[in-house]
Structure 1
Amino acid sequence: MVLPKEIREKAKIRPGDKLALLSLEKDGAVCCLSLINVAELEKMVKSNLGPVINEAFQQSGGRT
């Protein structure tokens, strides 16, 4: 996939950056595609799921 230079510059996408492709469906068909920088996606997942995982771990008494 080729992204125009203007878009890459606005999104601060550099050569070698890894991007995740996310899709949204409506009525069983893909209606939207979104590219997210993998490093940013990782930060979002950690900040949102980290507290949930920590709480579950504490409630289990530290058992895995």
Structure 2
Amino acid sequence: MEAVVSLDARGQILLPKEVREKAGLRPGDKLAVITHVHGEEVAYIMLIPARKLAESLRQFLGPLLRELLGPEESEGQGGAGPG
């Protein structure tokens, strides 16, 4: 556990400076909020920098899209070309 934070009256939290620095977060950065439900309750909440999530999705989906669409079509869709 890195830290314990409180939720204020407006529903906001403050990430401690050490956590922000360790994660490379800057003011204005977007965070994806992902919840995991176990049973009928939220078991945990994850915050993932949106840029990291987008990179992971591209790495995961890129090869799949190239396989499905073929190299010519995936390049036109923003896929990585050769080289």
What is the root-mean-square deviation of aligned Cα atoms in Å? 1.3
Unaligned runs of 5+ in 2: 1-12, 74-83
Task: Select the structure with the greater relative contact order (CA < 8 A; seq sep ≥ 6).
Answer: 1
Q: Secondary structure at the match of 1:34?
A: strand
Gaps in structure 1 of 5+ consecutive residues: none
Superposed structure 1 runs of 4+ greater than 6 Å apart: none
How many residues are treated as equivalent by the alignment?
Answer: 59
Structure (1/2) with the larger strand percentage: 1
Cα distance between partner residues in 1 of 2:69 and 2:27: 39
* TM-score, with length taken from structure 2: 0.64
Q: TM-score, normalised by structure 1?
A: 0.80
Looking at structure 2, the residues matched to 47 and 31 of structure 1 have their Cα atoms a distance apart, in angstroms, of: 28
Query: How far off its partner does 1:25 sit?
Result: 1.2
Q: Alpha carbons of 1:54 and 1:29: their partners in 2 closer, same or farther (altered >3 Å)?
A: same
Equivalent-residue separation in structure 2 for 1:9 and 1:45 (angstroms): 24
Give, in whole Å, the separation in 2 of the partners of 1:40 and 1:31.
23
Larger Rg: 2
Offset of residue 34 of structure 1: 0.7
